[in-house]
């Protein structure tokens, strides 16, 4: 069954690139969520005028990969202990946030955060109801693949 999940973990290029490598993930789209302006542009988001986070929309086959697996992967491909930043990328648009669509997703997200906190991680990831997802400009889509680069701010760190 096809389902969608939404994650914000710094620059969307790296999150998109690493999520696409997970078996069961059909596609990943870069965009914006969590703000107060309709149809924001990259320039508006990076100016902090909209309140949006750089977010990815993950379309996945739940018969091949679970939401819980995607949550754990998300927590390993970005640093959930950095507040409003990932590496050199600084600003609220780079915040760590899980946008849930159901109560089950909310509970699973909180459980994964709880596991990391028990392991000693000072997790700052927000768990927020999903709102409208705005697709980013075309030049942001598949950026790492199009430019044949590996993400600079995202490296998988095993935490589970």
Q: Listing from the earlier edge strand, what are the strands of the sheet with 25-33?
A: 126-129, 96-100, 2-9, 53-61, 25-33, 134-135
The domain containing residue 90 runs over which residues?
2-146
Q: Is residue 96 part of a domain?
A: yes
pLDDT one-digit tens code per residue, 73-103: 999 999 999 999 998 899 999 999 999 999 9
How far apart are alpha carbons 20 and 9 in whole angstroms?
A: 15
Q: Is residue 154 part of a domain?
A: no
pLDDT one-digit tens code per residue, 24-55: 999 999 999 999 999 999 999 999 999 999 99
Q: Is residue 61 part of a domain?
A: yes
- Strand-pairing partners, residue 17, are none
Instruction: Confirm whether 153 is a catalytic residue.
Output: no
How far apart are alpha carbons 77 and 13 in whole angstroms?
A: 12
3-state helix, strand, coil in the chain (%, to 5): 30, 25, 45
CATH of residue 44: 3.30.1060.10
Q: How many structural domains does the chain have?
A: 1
Q: Is residue 131 part of a domain?
A: yes
Q: Is residue 50 part of a domain?
A: yes
Q: Is residue 152 part of a domain?
A: no
Task: List Cβ neighbours of 81 (8 Å cut-off, separation of 6 or more).
Answer: 121, 122, 123, 124
Q: Is residue 56 part of a domain?
A: yes
Reading the block at residue 50, the tokens are: 């909209």
Q: Is residue 115 part of a domain?
A: yes
pLDDT one-digit tens code per residue, 107-134: 999 999 999 999 999 999 999 999 999 9
């Amino acid at each position: 069954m096809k389902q969608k999940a939404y994650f914000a973990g710094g620059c969307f290029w790296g999150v998109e690139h690493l999520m696409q490598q997970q078996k069961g993930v059909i596609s990943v789209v870069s965009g914006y969520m969590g703000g107060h302006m309709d149809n924001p542009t990259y320039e508006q988001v990076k100016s902090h005028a909209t309140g949006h986070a750089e977010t990815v929309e993950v379309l996945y086959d739940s018969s091949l990969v679970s939401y819980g697996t995607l949550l754990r992967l998300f927590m390993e491909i970005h640093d959930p202990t950095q507040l409003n930043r990932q590496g050199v990328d600084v600003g609220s648009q780079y915040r760590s946030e899980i946008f849930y669509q159901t109560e089950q997703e909310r509970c699973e997200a909180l459980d994964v955060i709880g596991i990391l906190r028990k392991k000693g991680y000072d997790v700052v990831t927000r768990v927020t109801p999903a709102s409208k997802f705005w697709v980013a400009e075309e030049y942001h889509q598949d950026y790492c693949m199009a430019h044949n680069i590996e993400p600079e701010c995202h490296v998988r760190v095993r935490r589970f």
